[in-house]
């Protein structure tokens, strides 16, 4: 398979094309071609996962000098997850080049977020081995910037975890987050969640499931507590 177009999108040309092939080889393909002594991309994925974390953690540390460790950790989680990594993989069109077993291919494996995210991490591991940490760091930063935008503009969506951390830090106690009402018929039910802190209601949210309602309520509570969002 020719990789020129893919390498152009990645922004890197491999000296060792076998590393790139390995990064794109899923376990199902190896299982169906045992006589070819192939290596799947799981080991490269393990390496790439560590590299992506290091690159993004360093970038956040440098770009957001005023933020505390807890916020940096949450922003890193917003950036490094299956959804974000699979989005980058789609941008690079990795799915077109994946080597999949027949069953996985028929089951839309080229479009599965988990497979795409793993392939991107494997790709990062392969670039590191073929080049250097300096090279792969630059490429990963470029990918994240092009697909997800500037680091400082990444918003935190796990408002519940953030609220718990803020309350523990400021008030030395945790808020009470509870479902206080259920509205509508069973097939269109909405939940109302209330946030209580030191005996006062500081936030309320309504959503189609308990988790959504809790996140909305916690976001409202953070605003009332004058936390910048």
Point out the residues that are catalytic: 49, 121
Helix/strand/coil percent split, the chain, to 5: 65, 10, 25
Answer yes or no: are the C-beta atoms of 42 and 27 closer than 8 Å: yes
Q: How far apart are CA 81 and CA 158, in angstroms?
A: 13
CA–CA distances in Å: residue 46 to residues 28, 41, 106, 118:
18, 9, 26, 9
Q: Looking at the DSSP assignment, which residues form a beta bridge with residue 204?
A: 194
CA distances from 128 to 84, 111, 143, 172 (A): 20, 25, 15, 44
Question: Left, alpha or beta for 27 (phi > 0: left; psi -120 to 50: alpha)?
Answer: alpha
Which tokens is 186 given? Answer: 């069973």
Token pair, residue 84, equals 């974000």
Burial degree of 184 (CB within 10 A; 0-12, 13-18, 19+): exposed
């Amino acid at each position: 398979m020719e990789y020129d177009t893919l390498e152009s999108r990645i922004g890197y040309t491999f000296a060792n094309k076998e590393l790139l092939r390995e990064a794109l080889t899923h376990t199902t393909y190896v299982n169906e071609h045992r006589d070819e002594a192939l290596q799947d991309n799981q080991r490269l994925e393990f390496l790439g996962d560590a590299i992506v974390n290091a690159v993004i953690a360093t970038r956040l540390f440098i770009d957001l000098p005023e933020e505390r460790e807890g916020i940096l950790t949450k922003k890193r989680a917003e950036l490094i997850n299956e959804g974000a990594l699979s989005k980058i993989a789609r941008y690079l069109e990795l799915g077109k080049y994946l080597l999949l077993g027949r069953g996985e291919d028929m089951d839309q494996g080229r479009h599965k977020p988990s497979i795409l995210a793993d392939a991107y991490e494997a790709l990062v591991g392969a670039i590191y081995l073929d080049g250097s940490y300096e090279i792969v760091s630059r490429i990963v930063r470029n990918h994240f910037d092009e697909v997800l935008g500037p680091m400082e503009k990444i918003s935190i969506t796990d408002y519940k975890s953030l609220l718990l951390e803020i309350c523990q830090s400021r008030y030395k106690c945790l808020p009470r987050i509870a479902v206080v009402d259920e509205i509508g018929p069973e097939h269109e039910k909405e939940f109302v969640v209330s946030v209580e802190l030191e005996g006062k209601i500081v936030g309320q949210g309504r959503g189609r499931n308990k988790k959504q309602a809790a996140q909305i309520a916690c976001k409202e509570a953070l605003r009332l507590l004058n936390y910048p969002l």
